[in-house]
Chains A and B, each alone.
Chain A
C-alpha cells in the first residue's frame, strides 16, 4: 500500500500557495464556452410554455396552429386537458423551431383554456394556512415549562426569512441531440458524471449511450443536479426533429419561477435564561414552505443544540409556487438567522454584550474551543470591544439620523468528500494528463486538481493537462454539500502518486537505487536527499520506451485515510449604518472568521468566503420572492425587482481563514457553504443594535426598518 499523505506543510511547493485561477483568462476574455454558448451544427431552438396561473385545471389545449407553422419542427405536450397545474410557471408544452424567435412565436399560438382554482401563495401567517399546514408534532427535551417558570429572563419573538431564488446567471437549460439510440447532452449541471443516467431513465436510453460534455457552468448553488424537464423535453423534441440538436434554456422569468428556490422559515421563539446569560430553555413553533412539498424544519436551536430544555414544533406549509431545491447550505442560513436573532434579543433584554452571551453558552455547542477562539478573533478584527454599544445606544444616537450597529452570528457545516475517481497518464515524452469527470462551478476545482497533481509529480502547473467536464472520464460525484474539494483532492493525490510510483519503478535501476528512495521535485526525479543523483523529468519518462503509465486513484468517502474530513465552524460579524429617517441600511464592514482544514489554494478559498458573504448580504438586504395574493403570481420574476446587491452595496469584507498546523492535519474540508450561513443573522443583529428595535423579517428593506421603528410589523 503506497503512502498516501499530504506533504508536510513546510515542504509543500504548490499546495497552500495563493495561486491564480487556471481558467481565469478563458473566462475574462470571453473565450470560455458554456453549454449555453454552444451551437452544434443543425441546432434547433426549443422553448417552453408555462402556466400563467398559480392553480388551475386545464380544460383544453390546442397545438394545431403551432404545429403547422413553417420552421417549427416539433411540438410536445407536457400535460393534458383535465390535469391541474399547481403553480405559476408549471410546464405545459414545448416547441422546437429553426430560430429562437420562431420558437417563441409558436408558443404564442398554442391555445390553452384554464379553469382557475383557489390558491395559497403566502405562508408568512401560519393561522391563514389552514389545512395547507402540516404540523410535524412536538419534540420535547427536558422540562421546558419548568425552565420557563424558573427563568430570570425570557424573550419572545417572531422572526421570518422569505423564499429566495437561486437566480443563476446562466439559466437552467441544455442542448440535447437524440439521434437513433445515442444522446449527446450539453448541460449546465453540477453533476457531469451523473446527469446522463438521470436523463437516460426518462428517455429510456442506456447511460452507456449518453455522452455528457460541459466545460463551464454559469452558477448552480445547489439548483443544478438533475436532468430536469427541460433535459427530457429537449431530448424528445430532438428525436421528433430527426435527431437534430435542440437548445433549450429557460427565460429569466421561468428560471426564477421553477428552477429552484430556498425554502422560507418563520418561527415564534421563546428563550429563557438566568441573570448571567446562561440559556435554560428554548421553544420554537416554526413553519416554512418550499412549494407544494412544504418545507422542512431548519435545525433549531442552531449550533446551541444542547440547551437542556427544548420544545420544537414545525409545520410544512404547501403553497402554490415553484418547488424548492438545495440552496447553498440547505436550511442552515434560516436556522442561524432564527436562532441568532432570538439570542441577540435575549442579550439586549439582559443588557449584555451578545458576545458575552454567545461565549457563556458555547458549552451547548459541539465546538466550544473553536468558537471561543473565533469569537475573540472576529471581535479583534471588528474592534468589537471598543465599538460595540448596548442596543440603540450608539454614540450617534440623538445626533443625526444615521445609526451604527454591530451584530454577530454563528455557523457550522459538515462537508467531507464525495466519491471520486481520477486517472493520471504519464506519456513517454513527459507529458501528463489528469482526467476526472468532475465540474468546476467557479469554486476553483480545476485549479485545485492541477495544484495537487503538480505537487505530487514535482512539476510546474503548466506541465499538467487537466481534463474535466466529460462523462467519458473517471466518475466523480455531484458538486453539492461542499464535497468536491474533499473528493477530487484525495483522488488526484492517489492517482498521481500511483503514476509517479510506476515511473519510480522504471527509473530506480537507472539511478542505481530502489523506487522507495526516489522523489519527484522541481521537474526532476532524484534520489531523496541527494539531488546530484537525478534525471530531468523528460529523460526519466523517456525510459518508459513506448509504454505510457496510466494509473487510477479513488476517494472513498467511507475511508478517507486522513486526506479529507468534515465539520467546521465559523463566526461572522457585521457593521452597518441605518438611516432612521429613510430606513436605508448600508453595509460598512463584514468579518468572516472561518475554521477550515487543509487549504489547497488560499487565494480561491478566500474568494469562496467573499462570495458567500456577498450572497448573504444580498439575502439580508434585498432578496425576496414577492407573491401576489390576488393573482397568485410571482411579481418580481425578473432582475429589476428581484434585487441582488451591486458592487457599491457590500462595504468592506474581511476574511480570516484559520490556517494552522492543527487544522491542516484534518485534511481537506470544503468551504463553499459554511461562510454563506451566518450572514443574514449577523446583519439583522447589527441593524437591531443600531436602531434599538428588532426588524423581525428580512430582507431589511426600508419599509420594514421604518415599520419596526414605528412599532408596526411590516
Chain B
C-alpha cells in the first residue's frame, strides 16, 4: 500500500495545485458555479491540513444515501467512477466527464455537484445523495413530475436533471418560471426535453409544498 500521510513525507511541496483549485483558476463558467461544484470550505482548507495519499489504492469510506460504504481505490478515481464502476450505482451518468453537462449530478452536503469532477477521496465525511437514494419508498415528486410532463426522451440526462432539480427545489421551494430556467442551466439534454423539464420542476415544487413527500 503506497498510501501515506503528508506529515510523514519529508520535503513535501509547499504549494499543491489541486484539481479543484485548477478548475477554479481556469475560470470555468457560471453554470458550474451555479451547480455548486466549488466548495468554498474545501478551498479555504489551509495547506498544513492537506494530506497526501496514493498513487496506489487507498481504503476510503463514503457515506452514500445514509449508509457508509468502504472501498479501496486510487486517489485519482472520481466520485462518479466510484459510484458507477465500483458500487453499481449507475443512475449518475458519465457524459462529458469534465463538469459541463450535469448528467453525473449528485447532492453533496445538500448541494448539487458534478460527480465527474469530485475525487472520491474528497467526498469522504460528506453526505452523498444519489438518485437511488431519494425515492424514500415511493418515487420522489421530481421523478413523478418528469413523467407527468414528459420531461425525458432517451433519459440519459434525466437522473442528473432530477438531482439538480431536487437540490434546486430544496433551496428554492417557491421558484418562478424564470428562476427554474436559471437554476437548471447547469444541465444539458440532447433530445430536447427542456419544455417538459421547466413544467416538471414547477409541478414538483407545488407537489412538495403540498406535503406530498415526506
Give me the interface of A with B, judged by CB distance under 8 Å.
20-21, 23-34, 36-37, 39, 45, 99-101, 167-171, 216-221, 251-252, 441-443, 603-604, 606-608, 610-615, 618, 638-640, 644-648, 650, 653
Contacts and interface: CB of A to CB of B under 8 A. Distances in A.
Contact of B85 (A99, A170, A638, A647): A99
Interface in B181-214: 181-182, 184-185, 187-198
A611 B195 CA distance: 9
Most buried by B among A33, A100, A168, A647: A647
A30 B98 contact: no
CB-based closest 5 A-B pairs:
A30-B91, A614-B192, A218-B156, A27-B155, A611-B192
Contact of B196 (A26, A168, A607): A607
B79 to A, nearest CB: 14
Most buried by B among A100, A607, A608: A607
A246 B93 CA distance: 19
B88 A39 contact: yes
A653 B195 contact: yes
B90 interface: yes
B188 A442 contact: no
A653 B132 CA distance: 32
Nearest to A218: B156
A170 B101 CA distance: 12
Interface in B120-144: 130-132, 135, 139-140, 142-144
Given A34-B156, A170-B154, A25 B81 contact: no
Contacts of A638: 96, 98, 100
Contact of B139 (A25, A36, A100, A608): A25
Interface in B141-187: 142-144, 146-148, 150-159, 162, 180-182, 184-185, 187
A27 B100 contact: no
27 contacts: A21-B152, A27-B152, A27-B155, A27-B159, A28-B152, A28-B155, A28-B159, A28-B162, A29-B131, A29-B139, A29-B159, A32-B155, A33-B90, A99-B85, A169-B95, A169-B101, A169-B188, A169-B189, A218-B93, A218-B155, A612-B192, A614-B193, A639-B98, A645-B194, A646-B187, A647-B181, A650-B195
B192 A442 contact: no
Interface size class, chain B: 35 or more
B53 interface: no
Nearest to B188: A644
B198 A647 contact: yes
B153 A650 contact: no
A611 B157 CA distance: 14
Nearest to B28: A640
Contacts of B193: 607, 610-611, 614
Nearest to A39: B88
B51 to A, nearest CB: 21
A218 B154 contact: yes
Contacts of A167: 190
B154 A441 contact: yes
A249 to B, nearest CB: 8
Contacts of A217: 154
Nearest to B131: A30
Given A28-B139, A639-B95, A613 B192 contact: yes
A610 B200 CA distance: 15
Contacts of A613: 192
Contacts of A31: 91
A281 B74 CA distance: 68
Interface of B: 28-29, 31, 74, 76-77, 81, 84-85, 88, 90-98, 100-101, 103, 130-132, 135, 139-140, 142-144, 146-148, 150-159, 162, 180-182, 184-185, 187-198
A588 to B, nearest CB: 14
A28 B146 contact: yes
Contact of B156 (A39, A219, A607, A644): A219
Nearest to A18: B150
B76 A252 contact: no
Nearest to B152: A27
A29 B135 contact: yes
Nearest to B74: A101
A166 B152 CA distance: 18
B152 A640 contact: no
A21 B98 contact: no
Nearest to B100: A639
B64 to A, nearest CB: 13
B150 A20 contact: yes
B96 A252 contact: yes
A648 B85 contact: no
Contacts of A608: 153
A133 to B, nearest CB: 32
B77 A24 contact: no
Most buried by B among A30, A37, A603: A30
A142 B78 CA distance: 65
B153 A252 contact: no
A24 B74 contact: no
A169 B190 contact: yes
A256 to B, nearest CB: 10
Given A611-B153, A640-B98, 16 more contacts: A24-B146, A26-B155, A27-B146, A27-B158, A29-B140, A30-B162, A31-B91, A34-B156, A37-B93, A168-B190, A221-B190, A251-B97, A610-B193, A639-B188, A644-B190, A650-B194
A607 B153 contact: yes
Nearest to A99: B85
A334 B133 CA distance: 45
B157 A443 contact: no
Contacts of B91: 29-31
Contacts of B85: 39, 45, 99-100
Contact of B153 (A34, A36, A99, A442): A442
B133 to A, nearest CB: 10
A100 B85 CA distance: 9
Contacts of A646: 31, 185, 187-188, 194
B147 A639 contact: no
Contacts of A220: 154
B81 A100 contact: yes
Nearest to B151: A28
A639 B101 contact: yes
Nearest to A440: B154
B97 A442 contact: no
A613 B193 CA distance: 10
Contacts of A101: 74, 76-77, 81
Given A20-B148, A607-B196, A252 B97 contact: yes
A32 B152 CA distance: 12
A646 B181 CA distance: 9
A650 B184 CA distance: 13
Contacts of B159: 27-30
A174 to B, nearest CB: 15
A169 B157 contact: yes
A441 B153 CA distance: 8
